[in-house]
Amino acid sequence: MAALKRRSDRTGTPSDLLVVGLGNPGDEYAGTRHNLGVEVVELLCDRHGGRLRAEKGSVLTDTIRIGDHRVGLAFPLTYMNESGRAVKPLVRRHSIDDLTKLVIIHDELDLPVGRLKLKLGGGLAGNNGLKSIKQHLGTADFTRIRLGIGKPPGRQSGADYVLRRPAKAERPELDVMVAEAADAVEMLVAQGLEPTMNRYNTADR
């Protein structure tokens, strides 16, 4: 179990889960592959009667109830490369001592389009948002929901690819994956990490 600091160092009402969708702020980035994690957080807000609001610390955030559980939702407004600057205060505010209860949702080049997987800790696959979070928290032992967007075609750079909006033909498959990611968060709350990983990481899905 990954622990950050003593509970006595915490502020705020404890949450059972803190879910952070990575992306970039601004209309020019809305709907791009790099902002799929944000779409999951927005969908969870819609499902459970929440509304993301701006708070100090460069973040849009709200707290919802999923069943009997308190769940924090957030979208850092720091741009992807500085995500950790917003995430660390959120971890303190929601009294997250066990970092497996911190769920980071992000796009993933190393998974095919529409493929969703959960992961605890491990390598960061060059994702600068994850690198920033690791730097600020001092560990990568948090939970991740990885949203597959596939490799860029031809000689297109990865940076250019993730910052573009997907083709119309690709969008329905991504919408299904976003909905499944929201389902996975709900299952995490109700059943925990291992059953959720078993459900969503199977090869035949």
Domain boundaries, the chain: 7-200
For residue 136, indicate whether it is catalytic. Answer: no
Beta bridge partners of 18: 72, 102
Band of residue 82 on the pLDDT scale cut at 50, 70, 90: very high
Regarding pTM above 0.75, the answer is yes
- The DSSP secondary-structure symbol of 62 reads E
Query: How far is the C-alpha of 201 from the C-alpha of 144, rounded, in Å?
Result: 12
- Asked whether the beta carbons of 75 and 23 are under 8 A apart, the reply is yes
- Asked whether the beta carbons of 65 and 71 are under 8 A apart, the reply is yes
Query: Active site residue: 34, 48, 94, 106, which one?
Result: 34
Q: Does domain 7-200 have CATH number 3.40.50.1470?
A: yes
Phi, psi of 103 (to 5 degrees): -115, 115
The arithmetic mean of pLDDT across residues 117-132, rounded, is 93
Per-residue pLDDT tens digits for 153-182: 988 999 999 999 999 999 999 999 999 999
What percentage of the chain has pLDDT greater than the value 90? 85
Query: How far is the C-alpha of 185 from the C-alpha of 48, rounded, in Å?
Result: 12
Note the pLDDT of residue 12. 64
Buried b (16+ CB within 10 A) or exposed e, 91-124: bebbbbbebbbbbbbbbbbebeebbbbbbeeeeb
Note the pLDDT of residue 205. 53
The arithmetic mean of pLDDT across residues 60-82, rounded, is 96
Q: Is the pLDDT of residue 20 over 80?
A: yes
Mean pLDDT, the chain, integer: 92
